[in-house]
Structure 1
């Protein structure tokens, strides 16, 4: 509402004296009433709170049960391993927590530490925290805005609001009243807390402090947005609950069977508890954590830093990437791409150095920016200097040849600047600015053969060219000149000018962006642009990168506000560009995609992006240009600020999920084999084929290294990226997973019972352990023969197989272990027989080559 008031009305509304400011007593009274101009701290968690949060997980509860059972069985080594797993998971989780708190801390650092304020008619420097609503504040270049202000007066004031609004260029400010209901990015008479003043000076009156500022509202949204579990965490949670039920049922059922058959109750109790432990793959949480951690290490090599481990896997199921424009899809650097002169629009690549000398020299001379090791000045002026350099002009030499004698600085209301230069025996004025203004001041137009009068038809033709360039998303600047200046005044300089031409510039898309968008589309991933920039500019970039093909696929934040929820949901299917949006809009868009069942990744670099980064399943911040607020709110950071890096990260995410699924199916099918072995023996009235210590030993050699080796397997990334994203509702056992688990469980149980029939407990113990090692080799790719696999790609599997075999040899050949496990020594012939029997799962893998392709999520037959 403050933007609609005149300075006089504003001071009256806020009970402030424009000339003298607030009195010291009144300021203190308002400070006591409204509180300090600071952002509230996020609710801090103690270390114990974070530990409890990590422990409150079904799989962790199961591990505690397993540890307790191991203590009862005096298997202290297993107890130590299980507790180490719990400690590892908890430690990693605690380290990854606290994103909102860190984001709030970064927001606090962004607020200005001090301000120049007028009180009792005197300017004084005070801590920004003590500013109150109604204070009159002085602003100048290089300062941060200390609170939200309505401007009372400006002198060439330009403010960088990109971090807050997403607009790519500094915003020229005005003190004039504006119409109501404008988005924050278009309130040119307002400046906002934390934004940097690029040039000029001004004075404004405080309209909001602390959490009431635009920055404070964003801080509030960061606190309100709550994180949700990733698809993998949900699946593992469901699995944990299922396994806990299975463990309890197995314990009770086996114990009751023992009672019915009048077996030794103590022996049956120990056996039932051991079987319950066998049903729980205690190595699974450790395997998942280590696989994700190794994935994080690999992703650093593709310029990606992961701040939250589960985010690695979630990348593999992303169906929508919502991307910011500036600095992510684009280079974050304005560049001249086209010139208009001599009645034609030419791409810069076709312009020769001496073709339009007045136009090119004028843009370089009427320019206050500087190139060098550090570029200084306005982004559009720097683009003009780069253009001159590219065309072979030496700007310093040009200034020496035509020294400046007078200047009218850029004025945001009149939208032009002028500079006068000595040219031989006379002076020439160059005027650069908005095309409409320059055209009004031109009486002539420069053509190839000389100058002609500016007719109405010629003026219309120039306007049509300007509109054509604008439709391509170009920011257009015009240049005019006049020789033989007589009067160095605004009226004397800006009249009877000769129109020289126009330059069209844009923040161009990165070279790799279009190909990355194409690859993501082939992988079934939608790409949507969400930006605070203008609709035409956003669409121009979206069209060049392949994100959108028509303006019908674009919508503004204002249009979005006018829609009902149902209309918005229906239109979302076609919209690919969201322009002129606020931070609240960004969160709404992300949440709408998520309610539609999509897994959403959101990229951003500014403060305005932080709430939506947290609201998304995967928040992706820019490492170079990103603010600390955005980085702390994100799950992952792109160190090269390049959109194409997301594609590489997705490849890694999909591969990691495939590997985790391999490990889970291997562990569950192996453990199911142990369960069936014991149950079948008891049901058939046979002696128990395995002791409790045998089951725990087999779990030790199979639940660790082989499962981990599967977790770091190398997959065909290209093939994975040709598939559609995984359905977030899809379970771990989709595409034949349950059938696979049951089949191999019964197969392992069958050969174990056959071994028991042939040679007793030692035979059964050996086959149960070694068959799972062979099973792990086949699990590398259940759709490919072992003879076509490159086994050297996974040396960890070779190591896990050899080490597991050595450990099994140890318990049958070393006397002390033979005694401890109650086994008997085996001859070479017996080992040959047992190895052949144990290889049956691998043989079945070759015979069946099950076509379900459940591991890679490929859409071949479903159960």
Structure 2
């Protein structure tokens, strides 16, 4: 084995196996795979280099407001105010530390999500077929390919059956390339688009199947040479973050404007310009909600990580916001609403209907045996030691063989597949050409509607005779009855054939054998989830390829549809105009017998009616509908890599209930972000008013620079982050979906900001005035002792801090008063408030800190004032909510 071997397309299949020291029947052993991974490394592409911790820290300091603060440090140092210089410097670096922690935490959460959503590969090791993470692949691994798989590494193909691969990501060619394993090339400078005996990492299997051996992993692959094409930008901003960033800039400009006005007024009033410069800069820093974007990023990353633990992996952060607006869930039936464990319960042949019971109690007819054998041969699924891979329908057919006593292993040795005509959604059939000692045969399985036109004979009690209209009628009646009982039907036909039979000739003049009926029962938790979604204003729509009656039977059982009139089939959809469909689409709850292009039409029609649509999918052809849906949801277990890469969200358990859980989680995340934003903006407005009005009146400044920076760093940021980590609201799913275009300040949020900010600002001004009054002065006097000003500022400082900390408790729920919720139920918020109060007390009781922040130890009246006034905004908010609840 040589790491430097190139041009594998010039090697024959036997030569490739020899060079890589691999047996085609067994593949690598686990021990050998481990050794090779140590030698070659993991099969991953190197993305952009992550920013070092030092760079992250410096990026936090790269802001014009920080530059102004550094200027303030220099000015205060020249003025001899060394304590102020030290405090401002500490604030700068403490703020940078918090920002660095938030960025690192968000990065780790995104890394974890990317790892969870990495693609899988089906390999043969130790003679067994298994699914592993593509990162675990090593040179020499045998990789099994089928439609929908993303090629996980560079492969030299060993076997190909009608294998087609779409290589546009590498070659720019839009049409799939037909692959041939037996080809060998001499020209070592072949264009990638012409190398038909290899498959390249990141390209997509669109049809057929194949087997390849890994010859290149990670950065040694062709796509590794252009790895930047696959690099994921983990710093994508969501629409919400962009809106808040713009809001922060707008508010910042207003705040800076106010600060300039304050500085100008102070200059006209003849105040100390150096002191007022510091105060103006500090007020600008305090009033600009620069922490909004960082807090939103942290809340989103925490929420998304929590969702991943509930089996919903968010691939694109904007999906979290969109989830709260979803009002229609379009769901596939199989595996999502149902158990995805198909079980054959009925067989119909020319011998009549057979309801399957325990195998030992059944007499198996020759027709039933042939039917089961043909279904097994016409299958790509595997089932060994109760571990299965492949389509659930095909797995059920393998289980049927075991149930009626067939020896599947012997059957596989007796027949060899030499060609096939793969299943596609238009033909609704799959055919295989197999060879045995007795010659070659074609076995075809598919929908009765497709196969009945291809059958000219029927297998009847061990003999073959011409098929009659009565036979077709009997099969149709049996299929309808099965469908009425929510059974999925599948028909088998066969014929003797020549070894060189062309694929297009396989499905002609067939011999009809029999029909199987299988059921995939609804998941127990789905019905309650559909009811919960309905309460939340979310309509569930079933989209399936199943028969109309089958789809309706499941829909009725799940309380999705009440009448067969609410079901529309794909053929019926094609008969009505686009405008008519858009007009009537809201009348339907089930779409049956649909093709992938129908799914796109359905989503677009629903969106044209103003709906926010979530769409589930698992196949290659589901990519377009997943892409255009507002929320594309891929199946994590049965979903193809194409579906997963087109989706916004991946369900690791393929369960419909997880979609509802994700919507609930998305709503809670948005609510928590809203709480944080409302709190920050309310506090900032209160601080600006508390500073601007007294200075405009000609009073001394209520707070000095270091006090403003202290408030901005601790009493603003800590509760805001804690509110973003609030627990789930149990009533969030009793509300209608959020309008995707609604203003962020709708539903009274803007009123909360204005009233809360004004109230906090006014009580702070009152406390400042009272600080003069209790010592026999007024703030209008020109000559006021320094201790009196310190007393007034201390009261204003205390009241502002207490008011902000206490007010955060009322924002945990914007509608319910405290007696209807656990007001102290958020432990993070309790901790933030307690920490804020402790730190505030430290400033007063530690002499060095008290002197540094120029504070005065309050008397008993001062402490009482701080407590009572600090509770006013919270009490006012709770009274407002109680009145609101009573009116409601």
Common fold by TM > 0.5: yes
User: Cα 1:594–1:634, aligned 2, differ >3 Å: closer, same or farther?
Assistant: same
Structure 2 residue corresponding to 1:263, chosen from 268, 271, 274: 271
1:640 to 653, 663, 667: 653
Q: What residue in structure 2 maps to residue 372 of structure 1? A: 384
Counterpart among 695, 719, 724 of residue 682 in structure 1: 695
State the shift of 1:511 in Å: 4.8
- Paired residues of 1:557 and 1:580 also in contact (CA < 8 A): no
Number of the residue aligned with 2:34: none
- Structure 2 residue corresponding to 1:825, chosen from 857, 862, 884: 857
1:653 to 1:851, Cα distance in 2 relative to 1, 3 A: farther
Q: Equivalents in 2 of 1:134, 1:440: separation in Å?
A: 35
Confirm or deny: 8 A CA contact 2:802 2:870 kept in the other structure: yes
Per-residue CA shift, 1:261-283, capped at 9, x if unaligned? 34333333332222222222333
The structure 2 residue matched to 1:319, chosen from 324, 327, 331, is: 327
> Is 1:744 aligned to 2:756, yes or no?
yes
* Alpha-carbon distance in 1 for matches of 2:306, 2:338: 26
- For 1:334-376, what per-residue CA distance to the aligned partner results, in whole angstroms no more than 9, with x for missing partners? 4324444799878768999437756655544555477432558
Task: Verify the 8 A CA contact 1:474 1:506 in the aligned structure 2.
Answer: yes
Structure 2 unaligned segments of length 5 or more: list them. 1-44, 77-84, 120-133, 136-148, 161-168, 183-190, 197-201, 212-221, 422-428, 496-500, 502-509, 772-791
Rate the CA distance shift 1:597–1:247 in 2: closer, same or farther, 3 A: farther
Q: Name the SS for the 1:460 alignment partner.
A: helix
Q: What is residue 769 of structure 2 aligned with on the other side?
A: 757
Which residue is 1:843 aligned to?
875
Q: Secondary structure at the match of 2:855?
A: coil
Aligned alpha-carbon RMSD (Å): 6.0
Structure 1 contact 328–641 (Cα < 8 Å) conserved: yes
CA distance in 2, matches of 1:420, 1:108: 33
Deviation at residue 767 of structure 1 after TM alignment? 0.7
Alignment correspondent of 2:452: 436
Within 2, Cα distance between the matches of 1:248 and 1:419?
Answer: 83
| Structure 2 residue matching 1:695: 3-state secondary structure | helix
The 3 A distance-change label for structure 1 pair 399 and 608 is closer
Alignment partners' CA distance in 2, 1:436 and 1:598: 40
Whether 1:733 aligns to 2:745 is yes
Cα distance, 1:247 vs structure 2: 1.6
Matched residues in 1 for 2:805 and 2:235: separation? Answer: 39
Alpha-carbon distance, 1:769 to partner: 0.6
User: Does residue 769 of structure 1 match 2:801?
Assistant: yes
- Mapped to 2, the partners of 1:845 and 1:388 lie a distance apart of 69
C-alpha spacing 1:193/1:648, structure 2 compared with 1 (3 Å): closer
**How many residues were matched structurally?**
714
Q: Flag the 1:352–1:792 CA change in 2: closer, same or farther, 3 A.
A: farther
C-alpha deviations, 1:460-486, integer Å up to 9, x for none?
A: 3433333554686733326899xxxxx
In the superposition, relative to structure 1, how do residues 441 and 379 fare at CA in structure 2: closer, same or farther (>3 Å)?
farther
Match of 1:712 in 2: 725
Residue 580 (structure 1) aligned to one of 589, 595, 601 = 595
**Secondary structure of the residue that 1:640 maps to in structure 2?**
coil
Tell whether the 8 Å contact from 2:383 to 2:395 is kept in structure 1 after alignment.
Answer: yes
Cα 1:470/1:334, change in 2 over 3 Å: same
Q: Matches of 1:688 and 1:754 in 2, distance apart?
A: 13
Unaligned residue ranges in structure 1 (runs of 5+): 1-41, 119-127, 141-145, 152-162, 165-191, 200-210, 423-428, 447-451, 482-489, 491-496, 854-858
C-alpha distance in structure 1 between counterparts of 2:492 and 2:206, whole Å: 33
Q: Deviations over 1:220-270 (max 9, x none)?
A: x999x9999645224313422331232232123323332443433333333
Cα distance in 1, alignment partners of residues 92 and 649 from structure 2: 35
- Number of the residue aligned with 2:313: 305
Residues 534-549 of structure 1 aligned to structure 2 (within 5 Å)? 539=551, 543=555
Shift of 1:85: 5.2
CA distance in 2, matches of 1:432, 1:631: 30
- Cα distance in 2 for partners of 1:404, 1:114 equals 26
Preserved CA contact (<8 Å) 1:782 1:845: no
SS in structure 1 of the partner of residue 517 of structure 2:
strand
Q: Quote the residue 1:34 is aligned against.
A: none
- For residue 824 of structure 1, report the CA deviation from its aligned partner: 0.9
Higher RCO (CA-CA < 8 Å; seq separation 6+): 1
Aligned match of 1:11: none
Alpha-carbon separation, structure 2, partners of 1:636 and 1:790 = 32
- 2:845 aligned residue (813, 822, 835): 813
Does 2:297 correspond to 1:285? no
Deviations 1:651-696 (A, max 9, x none): 1111111111112112211221111111221233322211122222
Match of 1:113 among 148, 151, 155: 155
State whether residues 599 and 617 of structure 1, in contact with CA within 8 Å, keep that contact through their aligned partners in structure 2.
yes
TM-score when normalising by structure 1: 0.66
| Residue of structure 1 equivalent to 2:489 | 475
Alpha-carbon separation, structure 2, partners of 1:676 and 1:340: 82
State the shift of 1:523 in Å.
1.9
Question: Is the CA contact (8 Å cut-off) linking 2:364 and 2:404 kept in structure 1?
Answer: no
CA contact 1:362–1:479 (8 Å) conserved in 2: no
- What's the secondary structure of 1:677's corresponding residue? helix
Moved more, 566-575 or 615-624: 566-575
Give the match's secondary structure for 1:704. Answer: helix
Is the partner of 1:336 in helix, strand or coil?
strand
**Residue among 660, 667, 673 paired with 1:654:** 667
CA displacement at 1:418 relative to structure 2: 11
Q: Call closer, same or farther: CA 1:683–1:430 in 2, change over 3 Å.
A: closer
Give 2:302's match in structure 1, choosing from 280, 294, 297.
294
**Could you tell me whether the CA contact under 8 Å between 1:613 and 1:619 is conserved in 2?**
yes
Check conservation: 2:442, 2:494, Cα contact below 8 A: yes
Q: Give the Cα separation in 2 of the matches to 1:478 and 1:754.
A: 87
CA displacement at 1:766 relative to structure 2: 0.8
1:458/1:350 Cα in 2 relative to 1: closer, same or farther (>3 Å)? farther
* 1:516 pairs with 2:529: yes
Question: CA offset at residue 113 of structure 1?
Answer: 3.0
Q: Which moved more, 1:734-743 or 1:464-473?
A: 464-473
Aligned counterparts of 1:347 and 1:314: Cα–Cα separation in 2 = 47
> What is the CA–CA distance in structure 2 between the aligned matches of 1:433 and 1:611, rounded to whole Å?
27
Q: Which residue of structure 1 aligns with residue 11 of structure 2? A: none
Aligned counterparts of 2:825 and 2:810: Cα–Cα separation in 1: 14
Query: Relative to 1, partners in 2 of residues 1:753 and 1:71: Cα closer, same or farther, differing over 3 Å?
Result: same
Q: Distance in 2 between matches of 1:677 and 1:130?
A: 64
User: Contact 1:605–1:630 at 8 Å: present in 2 too?
Assistant: yes
Change (3 A) 1:433 1:258: closer
| Residues 439/804 of structure 1: CA separation in 2 closer, same or farther (3 Å cut) | same
Residue 810 of structure 2 corresponds to which residue in structure 1?
778
Distance in 1 (CA, whole Å) between partners of 2:513 and 2:494 is 5
In the alignment, is residue 697 of structure 1 matched against residue 710 of structure 2?
yes
Secondary structure in 2 matching 1:476: strand
